[in-house]
A and B are shown apart, each in its own frame.
Chain A
Amino acid sequence: MTTIVEGDRRLAIEEAAARVITDPANSRVAARLLAEEIAAEAASCGVRSFSESVAATHAAGLVQDELAAFVAAHAAELDALVPADADDRFEYFGLRTVYDRYLLRHPETRAVLERPQHFLLRVACGLSATVAEAAELYALMSTLSYLPSSPTLFNSGARRPQLSSCFLLDSPRDELEAIYDRYGQVARLSKYAGGIGIAWTRVRSRGSLIRGTNGHSNGIVPWLRTLDSSVAAVNQGGRRKGAACVYLETWHADIEEFLELRDNTGEDARRTHNLNLANWVPDEFMRRVEADEMWSLFDPKDVPDLTDLYGEAFERAYRAYEEQGRQVRRVPARTLYGRMMRTLAQTGNGWMTFKDAANRTSNQTARPENVIHLSNLCTEILEVTSDAETAVCNLGSVNLAAHLRDGAELDWERLRATVRTAVRFLDRTIDLGFYPTPEAEAANRRWRPIGLGVMGLADVFFTLRLPFDSPQALELSTRIAEEIALAAYDTSADLAAERGRHPSYADTRAAGGVLHPDHYAGAAASPRWDALREKIATTGLRNSLMIAIAPTATIASIAGCYECIEPQVSNVFKRETLSGEFLQVNRYLVADLQARGLWTQEMRDAIKRADGSIQDVPGVPDDLRSLYRTAWELPQKALIDLAAARQPYIDQSQSLNLFMASPTIGKLSSMYAYAWKKGLKTTYYLRSRPATRIAQTTVAGSAAFTAAPAAGTGAVPAPALPAAEEAAAAIACSLENPEVCEACQ
């Protein structure tokens, strides 16, 4: 093959990538060109084989001596594990992400010292003791069937192998030294690519007396400002920005100011632009919202035990404090709930997470002193914390799309096998990981939680032609969750038999014979659960928690599938990442339209004009219209129902985004009340859409184009265009279908 000049190849890559919408096959074309480019770059550093790449990264001081020795000792066997065509499985965006962010680079020249397959095999070797183990994990990763989370991909085999995704820190104690100590912990944890969840409920509210100085506290906002700056300053080695989410319980007297922290108006000294915000909501609050009652707000200094109580114990204490008149003030519960909904609509933040559902069913909360105080940055982890224990979770996700057999059904046996391998390697990360703080290490070794999740559910539904809101989709999604939980628990029981139970096993509900689905009526009806319960009664468990559905934003891009359990956001959209923007098109839709001879320039333009929706595009067959609805067009009730049905098999939680193009307080309050009633433990972002948009430049025929007269003869085109946000709908105004055009009437 002739050598392509470097600049020409780059241009060819960009052009192929930009033509993905015309034909998704261009994605593979661009990926192949990029793979060549990467191989050439690595070769320029003398790297052609896997063993050469590890030698080079070791020489550059990037990987552990042990890894280098292991690879050198088994060079031929390991090199032979890489199939020549393995890179062909990548879509362009996935490979680009790997290249821009994951491949190890020379510290000075910044040239890559490994190819994509070398990277995956290096990650596998970093978690393995033998070639056979490495081969097993690498086989899953290179077929994009399973990927560990980004911190493991970044750091496996590295000198400081921080492999964990999430850290959950208890609220600092209500004293100066404790608060500053927490800032330090957050900074150290952030530095190594972990996402931070931190509660702030124990810190006294505004106006509270400070005895030492006889002054009054300014409340939590100034502290959170400092946290905001601190998080922004730590840039995770340039690979991604630090990020944190602050949790506050709904009874804290600073709750209203807390809800305004992300507003883009008002006094900037009381805003935190980098922090995410989440509400840690007790059931008692939701009940009072429903009953339209008053809600009392407290200064935690006056009621220090409230945050350590849940369920009936919380309700008793809360009411007793009210009777004693300890509250700072009272507000109508609905007024506060309305403000929470407003914050969600305006900022997407202020996630609704439910304290009692989280605690009631957790395997870790068998003893009253073990309480979950918050979730994590992405609302899928629920683990107990205390001043001395920072909860940690190591994550990985199964790509469901890679477990379809002949495009017709799920290969259940292979899914179970993948889960078994995944659980073993997730368990191992607990022992191999480097922990930036002693509080994190202590907790992780005691509880040994892992978070196995999924991605590509939407791919499965598209392939099997199941609309998200169909009963078959609900049944399949629930069965997937149950199969994964069964296989994961079974593997953890095996691990307990081989290597011992996790040290705090006696403190778990499992030790008392209660598994997570047992908290949900009818969920553990299958005899397989009885068998498993019996097995665990003898073996115990190696891990206190096993299932969590993380958002998988980056690893789903690498795997080329839809994120976790999410529906598609649009049939045509772009991804913005640190490496630029990339166009993505729903390749299932395109294949269907191509098969029917409908994937024309007109069709593409019409879908683009409609912002990726096909609902009002003329000429789209009805069966496709229903299947390829976007998240904005699906009833959100269906997403909540799917989540609620799988909840019994998710012993932690799920990052459940909800979508509403134009939210109102009424719709949101109905939706979140429903989510709470259905027993969801957490929800994640509320996604809404901009009220105005950028005019499109590359779609022929904007609103009045085709309807306009041919020349400046004084004829009258549409005098009043529809409101800006409806402009997309006005494409109906065209000569092809004048009967639908209302703009010209």
Chain B
Amino acid sequence: MLLDPGMDLTLRPMRYPDFYERYRAAIRNTWTVEEVDLHSDLADLARMTPQERHLINRLVAFFATGDSIVANNLVLNLYQHVNAPEARLYLSRQLFEEAVHVQFYLTLLDTYLPDPDERVKAFAAIEHIPSIRDKAEFCFRWIDSINGLRQLETAAERRQFLLNLICFAACIEGLFFYGAFAYVYWFRSRGLLGGLATGTNWVFRDESMHMEFAFSVVDTVRAEEPELFDDALAEQVTAMLEEAVAAELAFARDLCGDGMPGMTAEQMREYLEYVADQRLARLGLPTRYGTANPFAFMELQDVQELANFFERRVSAYQVAVEGNVSFDETF
């Protein structure tokens, strides 16, 4: 079984071809930080209101450390316990993507904050800006929660592991990051910060896949060991999401202050509740809030882009292509 302790090395026969396919799909969508043009954003930043500037600075401070935290949990916890080589292939790929994200946000920070002292402060935000510190502490608590687990022997230990996995997929990548992306897309819906939006699109695409991978690990474990998914676990997951929504809402209040047209903490609360419901639903749990999505601009996120080649790079191309020259295939 997937969570049985050990170091399985067998790829043939392959037990979980779906994980392997995810690994391959991820490779086809390789992107590099050098492809993103962030300099076009500087003019936008220069004409923002102090309130918008505050929002951006806080956001950048969150981004500075967010992906590093996810990468750490991947190395310290996930890789160790998901015992299938094809799943570990995916996790290795995910680790690379987290590294690209860290590099992207570092480049973003260096570009947006020309003053070296400001940059130091952004990285220190995790210690002295309460709304960011609280989110980080939430993450660290869940990293630490299975720190002592060397092997998942008992049902209780496996549930502990599942909680960590679900936390990073549903609460951190699936809620904290989703919240952060919403601010970026709000700016973009007004024609601002196109460079950040382009990079965020690609980060978002990766994060979507990370989340879906984690959920399919959950699905697999549930198929193999349905008894792990008891009512207590369901309650714990729901409580964890509630806590995450509260932490992200506090962050939103810090970012939005009294609110701006089209972006208020209250709307963000609705959005977070809406997203949290989706996570619960994906996990097969009853939804908790029943709130509707307040952000019309997020609809834009769900439809395919028609890149206008004079204006943006085309991010849609695939990296790996197969086959040989021939002349009689249908097209």
Contact = CB atoms under 8 A, between A and B. Distances in A.
Given A635-B331, A698-B298, A663 B303 contact: no
A664 B299 contact: no
Closest 3 CB pairs of A and B: A712-B234, A18-B296, A691-B28
Residue among B32, B318, B326 with most chain A CB within 10 A: B318
Nearest to A612: B304
Interface in A664-715: 664-671, 673-674, 685, 687-699, 701-702, 704-705, 708-715
A723 B212 CA distance: 10
B140 interface: no
A715 B222 CA distance: 8
B72 interface: no
B278 A702 contact: yes
Contacts of A314: none
Contacts of B31: 264
A222 interface: no
B212 A724 contact: yes
B302 A696 contact: yes
Contacts of A64: none
B227 interface: yes
A210 to B, nearest CB: 31
Interface in B288-331: 293, 296-319, 321-331
Contact of A570 (B30, B303, B312, B315): B303
Interface stretch (B17-25, B76-84, B109-117): B17-25
Interface residues of A, number: 100
A484 B231 CA distance: 72
Contacts of B96: none
B226 A698 contact: no
B327 A290 contact: yes
A603 interface: no
A293 to B, nearest CB: 13
B26 interface: yes
Interface in B178-203: 178, 188-192, 194, 201
Contact of A693 (B190, B194, B208, B282): B208
A636 B329 CA distance: 12
Given A712-B229, A724-B22, A553 B278 contact: no
Contacts of B234: 711-712
B303 A611 contact: yes
A553 B326 contact: no
B286 interface: yes
Given A338-B324, A714-B227, A727 B297 contact: no
7 contacts: A240-B311, A346-B319, A580-B189, A637-B331, A663-B318, A692-B205, A696-B302
Contact of A697 (B192, B283, B301): B301
A688 B28 CA distance: 12
B311 A578 contact: yes
Contacts of B331: 635-637, 660, 667-668, 670-671, 674
Given A14-B189, A346-B318, A694-B201, A264 B30 contact: yes
B296 A691 contact: no
Contacts of B313: 273
Contacts of B201: 694
Interface string B253-286: 0000000011000000000000100100111111
Nearest to A582: B300
Contacts of B219: 704, 716-721
Contact of A264 (B32, B262, B327, B329): B32
Interface in A711-741: 711-725, 727
B211 interface: yes
A575 interface: yes
Interface in A579-596: 579-584
Contact of A692 (B17, B190, B208): B208
B18 to A, nearest CB: 4
Interface in B216-274: 216, 219-220, 222-224, 226-231, 233-235, 237, 261-262
A437 interface: no
A672 to B, nearest CB: 9
Contact of B307 (A576, A637, A674): A576
Interface in A610-668: 611-612, 635-637, 660, 662-668
Interface in A31-79: none
Contact of A573 (B205, B206, B224, B305): B305
Contact of A711 (B28, B285, B312, B325): B285
Given A666-B324, A673-B327, A694 B223 contact: no
Interface of B: 16-18, 21-22, 24-26, 28-32, 34-35, 178, 188-192, 194, 201, 204-206, 208-209, 211-212, 215-216, 219-220, 222-224, 226-231, 233-235, 237, 261-262, 275, 278, 281-286, 293, 296-319, 321-331
A261 to B, nearest CB: 13
Contact of B300 (A581, A668, A708): A581
Contacts of A15: 296
A115 interface: no
Interface in A546-581: 553-554, 569-570, 572-581
A184 B262 CA distance: 46
B284 A691 contact: no
Given A15-B296, A21-B299, A685 B309 contact: yes
Interface in A370-389: none
B227 to A, nearest CB: 6
Contacts of A666: 323-326, 329
B278 A697 contact: yes
A736 to B, nearest CB: 16
Given A576-B308, A665-B324, A695-B211, 10 more contacts: A348-B314, A348-B316, A573-B305, A576-B311, A583-B300, A697-B298, A711-B231, A712-B283, A717-B284, A720-B16
Contact of A579 (B191, B226, B318): B191
A3 interface: no
A174 B281 CA distance: 65
A572 B21 CA distance: 28
B229 A713 contact: yes
Given A554-B310, A576-B311, A691 B318 contact: yes
Nearest to A724: B25
A264 B35 contact: yes
A569 B306 contact: yes
Contacts of B25: 691-692, 723-725
